[in-house]
């Protein structure tokens, strides 16, 4: 069987099982592991404090195209998707290691601009870029490792496996603008100057919800992740890991206003399945949720509820109470030829 | 200017300076950084203990060829080069995160075999493979992050910058067999069954000197790294970082016996510049060196001395006291088309 037939999630599931079975869980590194495969980042104990690590690679013409991604934005975004993984655990990012694969005919000035974009974002969160390598490659790839921490043992992290029936499901910010931006860039669609700039920014310069992730943990949220593959696709990861179902009221989903303006009828689908918004998706009981809404400055919208439905059954209900059908639920790069989004089930 | 003109080391030096200048060294993550760019791995303080992190990427047809690299060995080696970076700091590897770039037409069974090779080595050192991603890519690449530790604050790590004039220069094990193995595989040269097997193993299944690295630190060695780019190339990194020179007695260099048998006159050059032996190269005063020789079970050979010569001047002396000239001193993938070796100056 070819990799393209089993698909990305099928493959990572098989490899993960192999790795997971290989170790003696009662010993050494395995014993101190808190979250491994199945969460946004790896979490392990070190001297009583929780350490986080995540790695993500972006490949030219699979995850980005130089046709519509300026080098600086490419640098920013490559780091942003990794910082978002640390945010998704409620942690604090500290160090970044960058591995760059580059064809020999790339301009040095472009690589420097790429680094500038990375450094611009790193500086905002006090992240130190401390190592990495540059290697010859027929295709550009950017593989970034981010190391973070999540306080001491008593402090919790956000897990995908912690959703409970009855929990409210919420998201930060607005959804759909990144996918809409990609659509605009790929199909060269024209909108007003303001809308164009907003859509571009949403796709090329996502802002990781580091502060918000930490506030979620502080206020007692236990289940969360970032939206990289699309709301429905990512919610299905939570449902799988937590062995629960979910109900989403589609009219509650906070579709980005610019997406509504520019994409009309298509906007709900973009918000539900678009991916790469890098907002946080989380669940908590009503009491915790009410606290969160007060504490977090960005919009927090409750969009549905965790149910006892069989694992991974997600019902989408429209404003007339009718069930909505959608076609795509997330990204799988081995079977589709899409651009930029992230694509994984593990850290 | 193109990346191929500035070369790999020139590029990483520029990027490193940019990253290094970006942070406020008196604050947060930067303040707790012990070793960043310029060593085999990043080292930072966390609650009084030293954490290590390293990332390395291997790209198909640049660093390996499937023509002569079986999948299992590819998995082993990909992890081994990273574990060797932790060994080069005198640390203990704990976790590995694997990012795999794969064309869709690769057989799932081959990827599983690759993982088997990785797990085989990981298990030997209690390393837990805990995360990563698989992504679509037109070319295979394997990017591995290894996280390790190096005891508490008082305990030292091996640095490239700690060599002092008068220090003896030593290496563990024997040199040249990995490059000789690559030469044999590429040029389809034929030797005895035993020699063929030995050369293959040296190139495809290097054994990281984890135990030895830790013993070096324990016995007071402060300066060391692993030999990935070749003895002379790597020694020049130590000389640069330590601002010293070096003298090597070429007749003392422990060329691998199998290389001498199979490659005759070429063997010294293979030992001096071949690369990928993943032995440890270190310096220490005579007293510490004598202690090390007693404590470490593998061969330890003193091959020369650190001198006060101007930074990075390495003199090679033959058995008649005459200076030896060599052509290549290490690998740079942007300017040469060689196979598999590592190529970087930073972690």
Cα angle B260, B265, B271 (rounded to 5 degrees) comes to 60
| 8 Å CB contact of B116 and A18 | yes
| 8 Å CB contact of A3 and B105 | yes
Q: Is the pLDDT of residue A340 over 50?
A: no
Q: Which residue has the higher pLDDT, A156 or B234?
A: B234
Give ipTM to 2 decimals.
0.89
Chains A, B: CB contacts within 8 A come to: 306
CATH architecture of B160-317: Alpha-Beta Complex (3.90)
Task: Determine the pLDDT at residue B132.
Answer: 74
Phi, psi of A286 (to 5 degrees): -55, -40
> In chain A, which residues have their Cβ closer than 8 Å to the Cβ of B336?
none
Fill in the DSSP letter of residue A173. Answer: S
CB B127 within 8 A of CB A29: yes
* Chain B residue at shortest CA distance from A149: B46
Mean pLDDT of all residues in A69-98:
96
Helices A71-87 and A193-204 pack at an angle, to 10 degrees, of: 60
| 8 Å CB contact of B115 and A343 | no
| 8 Å CB contact of B44 and A136 | no
Per-residue pLDDT tens digits for A242-290: 999 999 999 999 999 999 999 999 999 999 999 999 999 999 999 999 9
Task: Determine the pLDDT at residue B342.
Answer: 37
Closest approach of chain A CAs to the CA of B158, in angstroms?
16
> In chain A, which residues have their Cβ closer than 8 Å to the Cβ of B105?
2-4
The confidence band for A327, taking pLDDT boundaries of 50, 70 and 90, is low
Residues 6+ apart with CB under 8 A from A41: A35, A52, A53, A54, A85, A86, A88, A89, A91, A146, A148, A347, B131
Q: Is the pLDDT of residue B318 over 50?
A: yes
Buried b (16+ CB within 10 A) or exposed e, B112-145: bbbbebbbebbeebbbbbbbbbbbbbbbbbbbbb
The confidence band for A312, taking pLDDT boundaries of 50, 70 and 90, is confident
Cα(B69)–Cα(B76) distance, rounded to whole angstroms? Answer: 11
| 8 Å CB contact of A134 and B106 | no
Closest approach of chain B CAs to the CA of A228, in angstroms?
13
Length of chain A: 347
Please, what CATH class does the domain formed by A44-152 belong to?
A: alpha beta
| 8 Å CB contact of B133 and A12 | yes
Q: Shortest CB distance from A347 goes to which of B49, B97, B333?
A: B97
| 8 Å CB contact of B137 and A141 | yes
Mean pLDDT of all residues in A74-86:
97
Task: Determine the pLDDT at residue A185.
Answer: 95
Closest approach of chain B CAs to the CA of A136, in angstroms?
6
Q: pLDDT over 70 for what percent of chain A? A: 93
Structure token digits, residue B187: 């040029």
Nearest CA among A270, A233, A235 for reference residue A255:
A270
The predicted model scores a pTM of 0.90
Beta partners for B54? B146
Looking at A55-69, A215-229, A331-345, B182-196, which range is the least confident one?
A: A331-345
CB B70 within 8 A of CB A113: no
Q: Shortest CB distance from B11 goes to which of A53, A108, A147?
A: A108
* Chain A residue at shortest CA distance from B34: A130
Cα(A66)–Cα(A244) distance, rounded to whole angstroms? Answer: 40
Per-residue pLDDT tens digits for B97-117: 999 999 999 999 999 999 999
* Chain A residue at shortest CA distance from B35: A130
Q: Shortest CB distance from B46 goes to which of A49, A106, A119?
A: A49
Q: What is the mean pLDDT of chain B?
A: 90
Structure token digits, residue B163: 């060599």
> In chain B, which residues have their Cβ closer than 8 Å to the Cβ of A108?
1-3, 5-6, 11, 14
Mean pLDDT of all residues in A290-299:
96
* Chain B residue at shortest CA distance from A41: B131
Closest approach of chain A CAs to the CA of B221, in angstroms?
23
The secondary structure of A93-129 as a DSSP string is EEEEEEEEEE-TTSBHHHHHHHHHHHHHHHHHTT-EE
* Chain B residue at shortest CA distance from A118: B19
> In chain B, which residues have their Cβ closer than 8 Å to the Cβ of A62?
135-138
Structure token digits, residue A235: 């919610």
Task: Determine the pLDDT at residue A292.
Answer: 97
Residue extents of the structural domains in chain B: 160-317
Task: Determine the pLDDT at residue B24.
Answer: 83
| 8 Å CB contact of B55 and A344 | no
Task: Determine the pLDDT at residue B339.
Answer: 27
Per-residue pLDDT tens digits for A182-221: 999 999 999 999 999 999 999 999 999 999 999 999 999 9
Task: Determine the pLDDT at residue B328.
Answer: 55
């Amino acid at each position: 069987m070819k990799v393209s037939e089993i698909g990305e999630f099928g493959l990572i599931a098989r490899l993960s099982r192999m790795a997971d079975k290989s170790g003696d869980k009662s010993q050494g590194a395995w014993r101190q592991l808190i979250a491994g495969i199945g969460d946004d980042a790896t979490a392990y104990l070190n001297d009583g404090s929780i350490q986080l690590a995540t790695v993500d690679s972006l490949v030219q013409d699979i995850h980005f195209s130089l046709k519509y991604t300026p080098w600086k934005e490419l640098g920013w975004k490559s780091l942003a998707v990794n910082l978002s993984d640390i945010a998704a655990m409620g942690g604090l990012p500290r160090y970044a290691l960058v591995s760059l694969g580059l064809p020999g005919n790339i301009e040095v000035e472009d690589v420097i601009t790429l680094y500038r974009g990375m450094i611009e974002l790193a500086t905002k969160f006090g992240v130190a870029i401390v190592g990495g390598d540059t290697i010859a490659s027929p295709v550009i790839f950017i593989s970034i490792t981010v190391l973070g921490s999540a306080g001491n043992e008593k402090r919790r992290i956000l897990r995908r496996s912690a959703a409970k029936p009855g929990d409210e499901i919420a998201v930060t910010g607005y959804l759909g603008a990144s996918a809409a931006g990609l659509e605009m860039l790929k199909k060269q669609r024209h909108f007003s100057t303001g809308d164009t700039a907003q859509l571009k920014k949403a796709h090329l310069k996502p802002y990781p919800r580091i502060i918000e992730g930490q506030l979620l943990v502080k206020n007692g949220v236990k289940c969360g992740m970032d939206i990289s593959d699309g709301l429905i696709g990512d919610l299905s990861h939570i449902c799988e890991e937590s062995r629960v179902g979910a109900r989403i009221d589609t009219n509650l989903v906070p579709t980005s206003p610019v997406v509504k303006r520019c994409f009309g009828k298509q906007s709900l689908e973009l918000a539900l399945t678009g991916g790469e918004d890098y907002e946080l998706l989380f669940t908590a009981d009503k009491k915790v949720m009410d606290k969160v809404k007060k504490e977090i400055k960005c919009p927090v919208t409750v969009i549905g509820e965790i149910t006892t439905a069989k694992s991974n059954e997600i019902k989408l209900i429209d404003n007339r109470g009718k069930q909505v059908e959608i076609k795509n639920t997330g990204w799988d790069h081995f079977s589709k030829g899409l651009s930029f989004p992230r694509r994984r089930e593990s850290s």
